[in-house]
Structure 1
Amino acid sequence: MNHMQKTYPQFMPDGSGDLARIGLIYIASSVVMEEEMWAMSARGVSTHTARIRLPKVTVEGIEEMMNAPELETAARHAAAPPIDVLCFGGTSASFLHGTAYDKALIQKIEGWVPGPKVTTASTATLAALRQVGAGKVALATPYVSTIHERAIRFLSENGHEVVKSAHLDITDDHALAEVPLEKVYDHVLSVDHPDATAIFVSCTNFRTVGAIAALEERLGKPVVSAIQASFWHCLDLAGVKGAKPGYGSLFKGYEEDV
């Protein structure tokens, strides 16, 4: 009888989420959040997405999306695989009507899909700002002024006074994703202020994570983006070290062991 153990060749990484699987409810016309989450994911972390339609990046467009029955459908579809955490990947959509609305959104999703831990981009942002010890912040967004002002209000009502901010007045979702990283870098630098303990960059279809390490090195303070915070909070809720190195001080203690 042969008791020798069978040996196999070295296989290539295939993206398997055997460490943690993240479910993502995301905008149908958006691309950046998925791309950046995969870029930050260490081996063993995967993201699985269901989509909802956003008519326009305005208050009215966001409200139409959030009131549509497809939000529940997307939540159920995102949680159909064996996921560990479910994230609602829309920052402005979750902060639009303030903190109570964001918390109610989490409770609504938990009611639809009991099982996975649930977060939103806005809840993750507040958790990330706590993690880096932020007080007063600076804010960079690509939004129109009406949404930008609501971001300021959301941060302020959660103890983060916004000491300086700027926005880009973009209403088209595809245009958000096309802003080059060099412009994002300059945009973030433009809002820095001596009183800002951290800088927050909002929007989940706005490129950020490739520039965060460079920005932190230049500014000497934490830079938190909505996508980075969402991914970090999913790792935190799942209890795994699942980040590749190089994506900001937020991930201290969460990077893969190599």
Structure 2
Amino acid sequence: METEIPAMLRAREMTAPERFTFHSSRMRMKNVTKEELAAMDADSDRCALELSDARVDVLGYACLVAIMSMGVGYHRVSEARLHQRTMENGGPAPVVTSAGALVDGLKIIGAKKVSLLAPYMKPLTKLVIDYIEHEGIEVVDSISLEIPDNLEVGRQDPMAPVEITKKLNTANVDAIVCSACVQMPSLPSVQPIEDRTGLPVISSSVATTYQMLKKLGLPTGIPGYGALFSGKY
């Protein structure tokens, strides 16, 4: 997220007047396990306070699986609680979770059936699938890269999803999720996969950026980053 969201916003600056600053506060997590994810989520209140000190206009919670591993529908609980923390700190700002953004983004493009790529161990991917399906979207197929080390996830080739997604069953799906994880880079793969398959392609970071722009009340057209940024939505 710390590379891909600024990349999308900078691309938007080429055709739109708004300018953006980017601020981050870190929740600690080294290995992508359910236990570390729960501890990480507990740290999110501190991060919301620190960022609201800067009087930011919108907050993005950058860990999809941390939210989804806390139980179905948890993104609504998290977003409301963290927004409350910003209000208590005198710097009220809306909160977008990547988990909620991915689900909402799929709904916005009308996806009822999807196939997805994730870096997680298979049990965590199953949690993600269950979470998405609880929101009324069927996951037809998935690939788990089974990388437990969070830094290693971030070191993956951002163009790798172009080839990996060729192994997904995409027959009769409405969309492809080329990275169900904001730590796994995939931004330059989004448009090539969409061009190859003719299907809408979305990633967690694309969905998060889209929702942040919506919360800011700004137009969402950014050429070259898939259907969600086509300007239709």
**Same fold flag (TM > 0.5):** yes
Which consecutive residues of structure 2, in runs of 5 or more, have no partner in the other structure?
A: 14-18
Give the corresponding residue for 1:101. 74
Bigger helix fraction: 2
Write the distance in 1 (CA, Å) between the matches of 2:30 and 2:208: 23
1:40 alignment counterpart: 8
Q: CA deviation at 1:254?
A: 8.0
- The equivalent of 2:16 in structure 1 is none
Which residue does 1:193 correspond to in 2? 170
Q: Is the 8 A contact 2:113 2:172 kept in 1?
A: yes
Q: Which residue does 2:198 correspond to in 1?
A: 220
1:112 Cα offset (Å): 0.8
- Would you tell me which structure has more strand in proportion to its own residues? 1
1:164 is matched with which residue: 128, 134, 141?
141
Map of 2:65 onto structure 1: 92
> 1:90-113 CA deviation, whole Å, 9 max, x = no partner?
100111133332211112101211
Runs (4+) of structure 1 exceeding 6 A deviation are none
RMSD: 1.7
Structure 1 length as normaliser, TM-score? Answer: 0.81
Aligned 1:86-165 pairs, distance under 5 A: 86-114=59-87, 115-165=92-142
Q: Is residue 71 from structure 1 mapped to residue 44 from structure 2 by the alignment?
A: yes
Would you say the 8 A contact 2:222–2:230 is kept in 1? no
**Do the aligned partners of 1:45 and 1:242 also contact (CA within 8 Å) in 2?**
no
Give the deviation of 1:55 after TM superposition: 3.4
Report Cα offsets for 1:184-242 as digits up to 9, x if no partner. Answer: 22222221421211012211111111111111000101111001100111001111136
TM-score under structure 2 length normalisation: 0.89
Larger radius of gyration: 1
Q: Is the partner of 1:138 in helix, strand or coil?
A: strand
| Count of aligned residue pairs for this structure pair | 221
Does residue 80 of structure 1 match 2:53? yes
Structure 1 vs Structure 2: percent identity of aligned residues?
26
Classify the secondary structure of the residue corresponding to 1:98: coil
The runs of 5 or more residues in structure 1 that have no matched partner are 1-32
1:211 aligns with 2:189: yes
Structure 2 distance, partners of 1:182, 1:212, is 9
Report if aligned partners of 1:40, 1:243 keep a CA contact under 8 Å in 2. no
Number of the residue aligned with 1:10: none
